Amino acid sequence: MAVVLALLAAGANALATVFQRLGVEDANTTVTHVRRSLMAALLRRPIWFAGLGLTVASFLLQAIALAVGNLSTVQPVMVTELLFLALILGGWFKQTFGRREWLGVAGIVFGLGSFLALSAARGGQQRPDGDDWLILLTTSGAALIAVLAASTRRGRSWRAALLGTAGAICFALTAAFIKTAADLWSHDPVSSFQHWQTYAVALAGLGGFVITQHALDAGPVAASQSALLILNPLASIVMGVWLFGDRLRTGGGRGLGEVLALAVMFLSLFALSHSPLIESGEGDERLSTGRPPTRVHAEGVTS
């Protein structure tokens, strides 16, 4: 059930990404000519609000998945967002998948499926104590400050990747807060509002949402999505094992197999995120034009 809900959440989030990108592209014209801030301009775009609605739906599905499953399973499954994104963009541009796309899809499915089968994550019902939260918030806060500071002094691709990294940290924290809030709610819905983790869900989620909007505006979708989809599950697995007591089977060579499976998945994510379908938001090739993205072959010939 947790895996199915996570897949539905990933699909909703992929469609939300497309709608939000359309909203950002449309808002850029207003920002340039009227000097309105990006977020103020986005609030005037219906397509962006459609993306917001899908984001909320994705959030609720993910919350339920985390309530019935564990962090080390749900968050890695969420990377299938990129598969759905490729399918949506392929349909948008009416293009068939090439070798890169099929290899990327196969690698993600194989890597993720192998990791889930080998790890067979169990547990995840441990409740973190105050010291654990203090260490997590201190290290995450320091990492966020460092990444955001570095993003102001980089080129477009690096800036998008660094903002995607910051978004990954925020969303991993959000997932940890959701997991705790769901546990508190299941024991006593009323008293759950007396715990700070319930409110931290909104704070971390909103922070990640705003950062990713600026990541979409900062540079290529491939750069921000690669960082976000690779670092989020890694951070979540660490948090799941450390904070919530997720137990991954590592004996009998399973540990090495899990590392290799994750490596295959992440390499496939990186390759697919650089597909012309995913990179269609870069430069003058805007999603809103409805034109297919330019394909650049290995020999450097553009067609």
**Predicted pLDDT at 129:** 82
Residue identified by tokens 């609030």 is 43
- What's the token pair of residue 223? 């750069």
Note the pLDDT of residue 44.
Answer: 60
Lookup result for tokens 């959000």: 174
- Alpha-carbon distance of 264 to 8, in angstroms, equals 23
pLDDT score recorded for residue 37: 60
The token duo for 181 is: 């809030």
Query: Is residue 3 within 8 Å of residue 62, measured between CB atoms?
Result: no
DSSP letter assigned to residue 246:
E
Do 227 and 169 meet the contact criterion of CB atoms below 8 Å apart?
no
CB 272 within 8 Å of CB 100: yes
Q: Please give the full DSSP string across 37-78, using - where no structure is assigned.
A: -HHHHHTT-HHHHHHHHHHHHHHHHHHHHHHHS-HHHHHHHG
pLDDT of residue 296: 31
Segments making up each domain of the chain, as ranges: 2-289
Return the DSSP state at 247. E
Q: pLDDT tens track of the chain, all 303 residues? A: 888 999 999 989 888 877 877 766 665 555 554 445 655 666 666 777 788 888 889 888 888 888 888 888 888 898 888 888 888 877 776 667 778 888 888 898 899 999 988 888 777 677 888 888 999 999 999 999 998 888 887 678 888 888 889 999 999 999 999 988 888 887 778 877 888 888 999 899 889 888 887 887 777 777 787 788 888 888 888 888 888 878 888 888 888 998 999 999 988 888 887 777 766 544 334 454 444 443 333 333 323
For CA atoms 108, 66, 256, 251, the dihedral sign is: negative
Instruction: Please provide the DSSP assignment of 103-148 as one string.
Output: HHHHHHHHHHHHHHHHH--EE--PPP-HHHHHHHHHHHHHHHHHHH
For residues 48 and 19, the answer to whether their CB atoms sit within 8 Å is yes
pLDDT of res. 179:
87
Q: What's the pTM?
A: 0.74
